[in-house]
Amino acid sequence: MREGRQERKTKETEICVKMNLDGNGAYDISTGVGFFDHMLELFSCHSGIDLFVSVKGDIKVDAHHSVEDVGIVMGKLLHELLGDKKGIARYATSYIPMDETLARTVIDVSGRPCLVYRADGLKGKTGDFDTELTEEFFRAFCSYGMITAHVELLYGGNLHHMAEAVFKSFAHALSDAVKTTGEKIPSSKGILE
Ligand SMILES: [Mn+2]
């Protein structure tokens, strides 16, 4: 089982994350930011990755530190749980519509951190969440998870739909990319860091 936990404490946030890459989408999320909880719940549900997230953060400032730091801790844990990446699919693509909105994520579990993020329309608040923080979350997650992701909001209208489609498309692509489908390390170099 690729299952574990990771904790991180700074002067801004105190975070605990537990993850099971081979789970069935069970979650318990409490970040102090309601809409972000909703996004992480979707992430778990649609990736099949079991996810526990608990945050005590300085949300009286704003949600920035909490959201970014959850990305850091989730990324670090993902990287640890993937180990030598033997047998994983490595590449995956997912398109997710939500009514008028369409999002696409293409992932390479490359061992190299890179995020290409194109979601110009994702600006402004929905609920208690500044949707521009979506980029901060994925940047931190990809940087510490050592994965390459191209995340695009192709078009959309409603902010809630747009944020949701982006998170769901990322979740689906990640789920497929980390699935174990064989025995080999999927690289002609013989190693994925
Ligand atoms: Mn929703």
Q: What distance in angstroms lies between residue 38's CA and the mean position of ligand 1's atoms?
A: 7
Angle at 136 between CA 14 and CA 144, to 5 degrees: 70
Residue predicted with more confidence, 27 or 188: 27
| Beta pairing partners, 183 | none
Quote the ligand 1 centre to 173 CA distance (angstroms): 19
Tens digits of per-residue pLDDT, 124-138? 999 989 999 999 999
**Whether pLDDT at 5 is above 90:** yes
From the CA of 32, how far away is ligand 1's center (Å)?
Answer: 17
129-149 average pLDDT score = 98
CA of 161 to the centre of ligand 1 (A): 7
CB atoms within 10 A of CB 123: 12
CA of 138 to the centre of ligand 1 (A): 19
Mean per-residue pLDDT, 90-112: 97
H helices of 146-182, in order, are: 159-178
**Is the confidence at residue 168, as pLDDT, over 90?**
yes
| CA 162 – ligand 1 centroid, Å | 10
Rg, Å, the chain Cα set? 16
Give the Å distance between the CA of 43 and the centre of ligand 1.
12
The model's confidence at residue 193, banded by pLDDT at 50, 70 and 90, is confident
The pLDDT mean for the chain works out to 96
What is the distance in A from the centroid of ligand 1 to the CA of 165? 9
In this prediction, residue 24 has a pLDDT band, given cuts at 50, 70 and 90, of very high
Q: Which tens digits make up the pLDDT trace of 28-68?
A: 999 999 999 999 999 999 999 999 999 999 999 999 999 99
Q: How many CB atoms lie within 10 A of CB 173?
A: 26
pLDDT recorded at residue 183: 86
How far apart, in whole angstroms, are the C-alpha atoms of residue 163 and residue 157?
Answer: 11
Confidence label for 9 from pLDDT (cuts 50, 70 and 90): very high
